[in-house]
Structure 1
Amino acid sequence: MKKSFATSLAHLGEKNPPSVSSAKSIPISMSSVFVFDDVETLDAVYEGEAKGYVYSRNGNPVHDALQEIIANIDEGEDAQVFSSGMAAITMAIISQVKAGDHIIASNVLYGGTYQFLKVELDKFNVEVTFVDVVNDDFEKYFKPNTKLVYVETISNPLMEAIDINDISNKAHNHNAKLIVDNTFATAVVCQPLKLGADIVVYSATKYLNGHSDVTGGAVVSDKETINKVKNTGALYGPMMSPFDAWLLIRSLRTLELRIIQHSNNALKLAEFLEKHPKIENVYYPGLISSPSYKIANKIFNSNLYGGMLSIDLKNGEKGAYDLIRELETIKFVPSLAGVTTSVSYPVKTSHRALNDEELKKANISKGLIRVSTGLENIDDLISEFDRALSKI
C-alpha cells in the first residue's frame, strides 16, 4: 500500500541500508529514545536480562564506547560520563553520602567544587571540613561518620602534587573512600586508582577533550560504585549529548601525544619564569625547587608533570592585570587545557566565589596568574612572556 506524502517523510530512511563494510569512525547514535519489537524485550532490558538502550538519559551506544575508553586508560572497572565536570563531581559525591555524613576535603580546590561542598551539601545536612592535606596532619579531622575524602591530584590553582598513597591509606583506615579529581594530570601523568583512590573524577572539558569545544565530565571506579553514580545521574539528569561523547572519543585518540607536549612546554616555561626578575613565585610540580617535586616524582608517570602552572607577580594585582593586557598571542581565558596557551586570573574566574579570608587560607594571592600551556613552539611562548613582562 502506497503511503501518503506525510507518512513517507516520517518513516523513510529508518532502516540501515545493506552493506558489507562498516564505518571507520564510531557511529553517533543521535537518538533520545530507542525502538523495541515487543514489551517482553523492553522488560528484559529494564531488568538487566538483555543488553539494550531505552532512553539516552539512561544510556546511549556512543556513551558506552566513550566510557570503555576512559575506564581503560584509568585502569578502572567502569566509567560514567556527564554533561560537565561539575556534574561528574556532584553525582560522584551525592551517590556516596546521605544526611548526617561527614566529608574531609582539601582547602585548595577548583572554586566550583569548593562552593558545592561548602554551600550545596549544607542543604542536605552533610558536613564538610576543609583542611590542608599537604601540610597538616589531617587524620585528626576524621569522625565516626566520615564517608569521603576529596582531593585534586594537582591542586587548582597552586599546582601542589598530592600524596595519594598516603591519603588513601588514612582514608581507608577510617573506612572512608577517597575521591580524586584528576583533571589537571589525566591518566597519562597519574593513575590515582592504582595509588589507592576509590573514585576518580574529571572535567572532560579540559585535557580529555583538549580542543575547547566540548563540555563534559567523567567518573571512574569499580562497577558497583559506577552503578550507584549512574543511577544517581539518571535521576538528576545531567547526561552528556551523544555528539559531545563522539567528539571526546576523537580527542582521546591523541591524549598521550598532547599531554607529553603540554608537559614538556610547561616545564621549560616554568624554568624560564622562575628566573625572571618580575616573578615572585612559580608554582609547578616539575621544578626541582617546588615543595611538591618529591611527591610528584613518587606518584607521576614518565617524568611528566602536566601542562598547568601558576605565577605570582611581584607587583601583585596591578602586575597581574598589566600582564594580561600586554599578552597578545596568549589569550585571557577563564578555562584551560586547549591547544593554544592561555592565562586565567583565579581571583576573578575559577575562585571568584571565595571571600578574602578564604583566598588567604588557600594562599591564593591577587597577583596570581594561572597559565595553561598549549602545544605551540616553546621558544615562541617564552618570547611572548618575555616581551609582555618587559612592558609591565
Structure 2
Amino acid sequence: MTISRHDLEPDPVEAARLLVTHDETHAFSAVAPPIVQTSLFTFKSYDEMVAAYRGEIERPIYSRGLNPTVRLFEEMIAALEGAEDALGFASGMAAISAAVLSFVGPGDRIVAVRNVYPDAFRLFGTLLSRLNVTVEYVDGRDPEALAAALGGAKLLYLESPTSWQIEALDVGALAAAAKAAGVLSIVDNSWATPVFQNPLALGVDLVLHSASKYIGGHSDVVAGVVAGPRALIDRLRGEQYPYVGGRLAPFDAWLLVRGLRTLPIRMRAHQESALALALRLAARPEVTGVNHPGLGTLPPGLRGTSGLFSFELAEG
C-alpha cells in the first residue's frame, strides 16, 4: 500500500467533532467537560421525576441508566461512527457480550469470522454454548463461503481486521451478504477506529469497540462502546443496562473523551511507525511473513492502518 500525506490526514469535520467537546449549558462553559461523579440525581418537582421515570424526558435518574459525562462520550462516538446512538460499557467484553446476548437466544446460530478476539472466542464457546447457541467459524476473505453459511443464522459477527492474522476483510460485501440472508451483522472496529473505518456506512448493523485501546489511548482506562441505529441501541439499553449492569463509569468516560481529542493525530503516528516497522521486518531473512494490511491493497472502506500487526519467524 502506498500511503500519501493526504491519506494520513483526518477528515477536518470529524476532527472538529473530537476537539470541540465543551458544553456551554453546563459547568460555566468549561472547555474540558466535567466529571459528574454521582450515583443519584435530584428533581425540581415530583412531576419532573415521574416524567423522567416514564421516559418522557431524557433526564438522569441513576448513573447506571444515564450519566451526563458518559452521555457526552456516547454522543461523540455516535457522531464519529455516523450512528444514531451509542452506549458505553465497562469493558470491551461487556460491549461484545451485550451486543451478542441482546439478539440471540436458545437454539440460534451465529456465523463468525475466524481469528476473532480470544475472549470473544471463549465467550462463544462457554457461555453461549451453555445457552444452546452454536457458532460456526468461516474464512471472512471468502464472501461466497460466508454467504453459504448464513442460511438459518441469527447473527454475523465480524472483526476487520481480525485478531492474530490481521486479515482485512471486505466489510461491505460481508454486510451485504448478511442483509440478503436477513441476518443481523456486528463488527468489532477496535483496530481501525472511526478514523480509518466506518462499518455502518458499509452496511453493518452495529459497530463496537474496545475503547481501552486506541480510543482511550493512554493505557489507563478499560471500556467498551456499541453504536448503531437507535432502535437497536434502545434494545441494548432496555435489556443489558438494567439487568446486566456493565455500565461505563463517569471518570472512565471522561478519560475516553480526553482520548478522542487526540485520536486522529495518534492514529496517524501509529500508521506511520507500524508500517515502517513492518517493511523492515519483511526484509529480514529470519521473518517468513508479516501480517500487516498496509503491505497489500486495502479492502473498500478501510482508509488506513493502525499500529497492531503480527509476523512469523523461521523455525530455529
| Fold equivalence (TM over 0.5) | yes
* Mapped contact 2:158–2:187 kept (Cα < 8 A): yes
Q: Distance in 2 between matches of 1:287 and 1:166?
A: 22
SS in 1 for 2:240: helix
CA-CA distance at 1:274 after TM superposition? 0.2
Q: Distance in 1 between matches of 2:158 and 2:251?
A: 30
Alpha carbon RMSD of aligned pairs, Å?
1.6
Gaps of 5+ in 2: 1-25
Deviations 1:22-48 (A, max 9, x none): 322111110011112443222200111
Where does 1:246-257 land on structure 2 (aligned, <5 Å)?
246-257=254-265
CA-CA distance at 1:62 after TM superposition? 0.6
Aligned twin of 1:268: 276
CA-CA distance at 1:20 after TM superposition? 10
The worse-fitting range, judged by mean Cα deviation, of 130-139 and 105-114 is 130-139
Question: Are 2:306 and 1:313 equivalent residues in the alignment?
Answer: no
Aligned twin of 2:47: 40
Amino acid at match of 1:125: N
Q: Distance in 1 between matches of 2:50 and 2:103?
A: 28
* Mapped contact 1:181–1:201 kept (Cα < 8 A): yes
SS in 2 for 1:150: strand
CA-CA distance at 1:297 after TM superposition? 4.3
Q: Distance in 2 between matches of 1:88 and 1:162?
A: 22
Deviations 1:99-143 (A, max 9, x none): 222110112111000111121111112121111121471222223
SS in 1 for 2:29: coil
Where does 1:194-343 land on structure 2 (aligned, <5 Å)?
194-234=201-241, 235-288=243-296, 293=297, 296-301=298-303, 304-315=304-315
* Mapped contact 1:95–1:229 kept (Cα < 8 A): yes
Change in CA separation of 1:190 and 1:269 when aligned onto 2, cut-off 3 Å: same
Deviations 1:187-237 (A, max 9, x none): 111111111111001000000011100000000100010111122222101
SS in 2 for 1:312: strand
Amino acid at match of 2:218: H
Bigger Cα Rg: 1
Aligned twin of 1:127: 134
Aligned twin of 2:154: 147
Q: Distance in 1 between matches of 2:27 and 2:216?
A: 32
For 1:31, which of 25, 38, 43 is the aligned residue?
38
TM-score by length of 1: 0.71
Amino acid at match of 1:247: L
Amino acid at match of 1:241: A
Amino acid at match of 1:283: N
* Mapped contact 2:150–2:183 kept (Cα < 8 A): no
* Mapped contact 1:233–1:239 kept (Cα < 8 A): no
The sequence identity of aligned pairs, in percent, is 36
Q: Distance in 1 between matches of 2:58 and 2:82?
A: 23
Where does 1:178-193 land on structure 2 (aligned, <5 Å)?
178-193=185-200
Q: Distance in 1 between matches of 2:49 and 2:229?
A: 27
Q: Distance in 2 between matches of 1:218 and 1:31?
A: 21
The worse-fitting range, judged by mean Cα deviation, of 41-50 and 253-262 is 41-50
Gaps of 5+ in 1: 1-18, 317-392
